[in-house]
A and B are shown apart, each in its own frame.
Chain A
């Protein structure tokens, strides 16, 4: 049942690090969606009770009241579902560093997932990039992994503490290269 890339390791391969995007990335989306949910939650109160209490109107008819409540309920449910899917997209989007390769699991949408990998011996350069006020304050940024020649370039976006993780990746690459040079 479980098809996580953790289960796709070759014999002798060990997971060294698992990176996810900084929680700040998800928190921004989550706060926006929670704010909209709150607005829809108080909307029936504003529509039904305030005009009556203020004496502006005698209140809505039972049909209109029922219709508004059911619509608000559905909107709340779908906003809640949207928040869950946003979390899922955040959580399933991972970078896995093993002692043999880098695996990038890119979860773009609920039904859009790509898994790509890069053998450690092909990596030539690894750079970290932190730009912007929020990124500097919350310490997250991008890591670019460059391979030899014109091969694919991996960019890990919005990784927490990219400098430290860049050092971690370089350390794993060094260990891998040493192992390969010592192996017969």
Chain B
């Protein structure tokens, strides 16, 4: 059975969605309670920049992975071995 490597993106995207949800909740706290303080704005900006930096480094790191290729496993979908 051939599995495309790109299937690894599924748990990653699920993790990213969770990250975005918790981040939005944290940013909501900033907006609700302390939005008028300069320090809160600076740290929020740093948080967003840091997030983008991690994502950019990740994209650069995985750019050489052959995402179009597949991996052959010795198992079929029904769980019977092909060996």
Contact = CB atoms under 8 A, between A and B. Distances in A.
A109 to B, nearest CB: 11
B34 A4 contact: yes
A66 B8 contact: yes
Nearest to B50: A80
A81 B25 contact: no
A74 B12 contact: yes
Interface majority SS (helix, strand, loop, mixed), chain B: helix
B77 interface: no
Interface string B20-47: 0011011001111111100110010001
Contacts of B12: 70, 73-74
Interface residues of B, number: 37
Nearest to A41: B57
B76 interface: no
Interface stretch (A82-90, A129-137, A150-158, A175-183): A82-90
A62 interface: yes
Contacts of A67: 8
Contacts of A81: 19, 22-23, 26, 47, 51
B34 A69 contact: no
B62 A92 contact: no
B74 interface: no
Contacts of A65: 65
A2 B35 contact: yes
Nearest to B9: A70
Contacts of B25: 110
Contacts of B8: 63, 66-67, 70
B80 interface: no
A106 interface: no
Interface of B: 5, 8-9, 11-12, 15-16, 19, 22-23, 25-26, 29-36, 39-40, 43, 47, 50-51, 54-55, 57-58, 61-62, 65-67, 69, 71
